[in-house]
Amino acid sequence: MREMARWDFYGGSVSSRRPPDGPRGDSVDEPAKQRWYAVETKTRLEQTVESLLRNKGYETFLPLYKVRRQWSDRIKLLDAALFPGYLFSRLGDGQRTLPLLTTPFVRGIVSSGGRPLPVPEEEVEAVRAIVASGLPATPWPYLQQGDRVRIRHGSLAGVEGLLLSFKKQHRLVVSVELLRRSVAVEIDIAWVEPAGSPTNRPS
């Protein structure tokens, strides 16, 4: 696993928070070419950060799932991040990131060798499809091996991932390689086909 560091788009470390020479405004520029990036946040404050970034004009995606929490007198169903400590933001080439990096509870943009690394569009869209499906989903240990399959029909049609059997149930595991994190969603085994097969679309 390659070592990652958090850096800004100016090539300086996030901790220094130093923009390059020249005037910098606080507004968010119109992006030229949009890509998704993983923004590291303080854990359990992902939703707060998303709200703050949206207020600054950034496009964000925070995958959530339902989790039960035991209180002294009741059990409460809460929203929690599928990738604890992370959310996604779409940024354009050359877009000023200082407003993002100086947002409270933001720790930086996931990077390597001083350069922010984009998250592949298909990985973000696969996670988005899982969240939108309404099917039971949960964070899952990162997986690299297993039978790769494609969902043939239903709300996840076209989504690819690894097939896993767990407690007599079948799950599709979708990974975000950059974060080394995975998400598992319950599926019916009849929905899948080998990923190398032609996709069968419902008529």
Q: Each residue of 79-136: pLDDT tens digit?
A: 999 999 999 999 998 788 999 999 999 999 999 988 899 999 999 999 999 999 999 9
For the chain, the domain total comes to 2
| Cα distance between residue 139 and residue 112, in whole Å | 24
Domain that holds residue 141: 121-194
Residue 195 CA neighbour count, 13 Å, CB half: 10
**Residues 88, 136 within the same domain:** no
Q: Which residues partner with 149 through β-bridges?
A: 161, 194
Question: CA distances (Å), 131 to each of 68, 85, 97, 128, in order?
Answer: 17, 17, 27, 5
E runs forming strands in 7-46? 34-41
**Residues 81, 45 within the same domain:** yes
- pLDDT tens-place string over residues 21-80: 333 444 454 445 899 999 999 999 999 999 999 999 999 999 999 988 877 778 888 999
- Residue 161: its H or E element: strand 160-166
Flag whether 201 is in a domain: no
**Residues 15, 102 within the same domain:** yes
3-state secondary structure of 92: strand
What are the tokens at 16?
Answer: 């220094």
CA 63 to chain centroid = 6
pTM, rounded to two decimals: 0.76
Flag whether 199 is in a domain: no
Residue with tokens 């060798």: 113
Flag whether 127 is in a domain: yes
